[in-house]
Structure 1
Amino acid sequence: MSGTRFAVVRNDEAQYSVWAEGRELPAGWHATGFSGTREECLAHIESEWTDLRPLSLRQTMAGA
């Protein structure tokens, strides 16, 4: 997979993943606009995804 470029994607629960560029995204996932090597994408996710709880859980806990 050398030379393969990846995109950072996020779902409706604000969870991140790496997806090969040019492939159709699965339902519920959206491109974030960041792309690069797998390592660059993983580093970006690490800096962005600081709360691993799903969005719905965070919202529920904030209302409690």
Structure 2
Amino acid sequence: MSTQHEFYLERAREARASAGAATLDNVRKRWLQAEARWTEMAARSERGDKMRAELIVEKANARVA
């Protein structure tokens, strides 16, 4: 897991906590939307990390062959 992925997850946790502490509905909604976006970015980052790792393995296998 990359540092970037962890950063996004941490921001999502912070947004969720802020949403829980919000007293106004519109502010809570904004924080929940922010959490969803951070979570989406974390998932994208994780997919990218996985694709890079697979590509490295494929290239290493190609060199061996």
The TM tier, using the shorter chain, reads 0.3 to 0.5
TM-score between the two structures when normalised by the length of structure 2: 0.32
TM-score between the two structures when normalised by the length of structure 1: 0.32
Of the two structures, which has the highest relative contact order with CA contacts closer than 8 Å and spacing of 6 or more? Answer: 2
Which structure has greater strand proportion?
1
Pick the structure with greater CA Rg.
Answer: 2
